[in-house]
Amino acid sequence: MGNNHSDTELPHLHPHSSAIVDCGLYVNGVREPGHWHYPEALAAARRRPNSFVWLGLHEPKEEEFANIASVFDLHELPVEDAIKAFQRPKIERYGEMVFAVLRTTRYIEHTELTEFSEVVETGSVMLFVGEQFVITVRHGAPAALHSVRQDLEDKPELMPQGPWSVAHAIYDRVVDSYVDCANAVELDIDALEESVFGRQGQGRIQRIYQLKRELVEFRRAVVPLQRPLQAIVGGRLPEVPKEIRRYFRDVNDHLTRTVEQIQSFDELLNSILQARLAQVSVEQNNDMRKIAAWAGIAAVWTSIAGIYGMNFDFMPEKHWRYGYPGVLLVCLIASIALYRFFRKSGWL
């Protein structure tokens, strides 16, 4: 019997539990053929040595998850957390079971960064890791685990290590997505930097703030994962096999580099923002000087017109035939002289 676990066929496989993505029984690292319902799969895993159940769920409702929690004897506190999306990354032990939360990320492609662009989309994955089972609960689009399951089944070197081999594969895939997302965000920052420091020297400040907001969301997903991973690598979870712990060290190294990269992004964006604010201040200064220069030129005409508008009988050249053209000529010459002066001084 084939083992097709595509998401599109799930409603037919699990008509009464739409949250179930897939359920597999693994013995000695190899998936048993056929479609398994989780109570039967767990019972079979308890009868056979070196076997475990991997149950995958997607955004389960409280009612749907209640029976699963009862069958697997899950603690009520992590069950409550698993129903709620976007928990903070953490790892906790409840008796013989470990509950872990990861935030997932995905870079959203866009032709141009604007003040409304969504750059990073986040989701979450929760893990219930027991001696003979691992339950994955995912929320949001950037958390699909079908490819992780397929890779593990195609390359089952670590699968005999038990449920923690699945946990490692998920951590590894999530951290790899952080690396990919960070590299894509770096390209956006480079483009933003070019728009600010290029010859044109222009870039909307709103674009910088939008990218900073997206970077904050990205940092909230990545940085808190350091402590849970260090707990695994540091041996504070004896349930994790030593062989798997070695692989977790590599994941932790990738995470550390990504965290350092995000911190450098934040510093660079602050520098870009300060530079753009300085440019705006200079541009406003230049605009004010231009306005003041043109106001000075207009003041010549205004002052002379104001004097002749007093309607006194004895005014300079009032009864001279060429008085009016003469006054206009004086205003024009004064304006040209002021214009050349302001141009020379850099105000115009």
List, for residues 115-161, the tens digit of each pLDDT value: 778 899 999 999 999 999 999 999 886 666 778 888 888 777 788 88
- Average pLDDT score, the chain: 83
**Concatenated DSSP letters of 285-326:** HHHHHHHHHHHHHHHHHHHHHHHHTT--SS-TTTT-TTHHHH
pLDDT higher than 50, residue 34: yes
- pLDDT range class, residue 347, cuts 50, 70, 90: confident
Amino acid letter, residue 228:
P
Residues forming CATH 3.30.460.20 domain(s) in the chain: 7-279
Joined together, the tokens standing for residue 58 give 């997607």
> Which is more confident, 11 or 164?
164
What does the alpha-carbon distance between residue 346 and residue 289 come to, in Å, rounded to a whole number?
A: 9
| Average pLDDT of the residues in 58-75 | 90
Give the integer Cα–Cα distance in Å for 108 and 208: 17
Between 168 and 276, whose confidence is greater?
168
Name, in order, each residue with C-beta under 8 angstroms of 164's C-beta and a sequence gap of 6 or more.
129, 134, 239, 240, 241, 244
Residue 89 near residue 224 (C-beta atoms within 8 A): yes
Q: 105: closest CA among 218, 268, 236, 265?
A: 218
Range(s) of the chain covered by CATH 1.20.58.340: 281-345
For 7-279, give the CATH class.
Answer: alpha beta
The yes/no answer on whether domain 281-345 falls in CATH 1.20.58.340 is yes
Residue 150: predicted pLDDT? 84
pLDDT, residue 1, reads: 38
Helix H or strand E segment including 51 = strand 51-58
Does the pLDDT value for residue 175 go beyond 50?
yes
Residue 4 has pLDDT above 60, yes or no: no
**Residues 253, 240: Cα–Cα separation, whole Å:** 18
